């Protein structure tokens, strides 16, 4: 994962991609879920637009193929690496969902009345 982040950060800097997740807490639930999936595959650029997150793709794909170099033979190969790529994007979507919804859930769950 750290190799993936290093690749994404390095290339993202060169390509002006902002890897951060941007919440939209004021929007309806469905829009927020859509935002999670949108930002899993798209990155924000300096002009405010969202475009394909090429650095993220390079990071997740590169990390999983490079890691074959130190994996046992039973866990390495193109098919296994592609499977890990899918898990990498799922992990990204899960993290984005946590970033989107946890602040509200925390406020609801741990709200104390004085």
List C-alpha distances in Å: 66 to 12, 24, 62, 71. 19, 35, 6, 10
pLDDT tier, 113 (very low <50, low <70, confident <90, very high otherwise): low
* Average predicted confidence (pLDDT) for the chain: 93
Over pLDDT 90: what percentage of the chain?
75
Distance of alpha carbon 85 from alpha carbon 17, whole angstroms? 20
Structure confidence at residue 114 (pLDDT): 57
Structure confidence at residue 44 (pLDDT): 97
Distance of alpha carbon 112 from alpha carbon 114, whole angstroms? 6
List, for residues 45-77, the tens digit of each pLDDT value: 999 999 999 999 999 999 998 888 888 888 888
| 3-class secondary-structure state, position 68 | helix
Tell me if 37 sits within 8 A of 30, measured CB to CB: no
């Amino acid at each position: 994962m750290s190799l993936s982040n290093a690749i994404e950060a390095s290339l993202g800097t060169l390509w002006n991609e902002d890897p951060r997740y941007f919440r939209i807490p004021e929007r309806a639930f469905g829009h927020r879920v859509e935002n999670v999936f949108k930002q899993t595959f798209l990155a924000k650029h300096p002009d405010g637009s969202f475009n394909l997150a090429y650095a993220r793709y390079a990071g997740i794909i590169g990390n999983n193929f490079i890691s074959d170099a130190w994996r046992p033979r039973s866990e390495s190969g193109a098919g296994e690496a592609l499977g890990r790529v899918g898990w990498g994007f799922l992990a990204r979507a899960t993290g984005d969902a946590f970033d989107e919804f946890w602040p509200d859930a925390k406020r609801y769950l741990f709200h104390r009345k004085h």
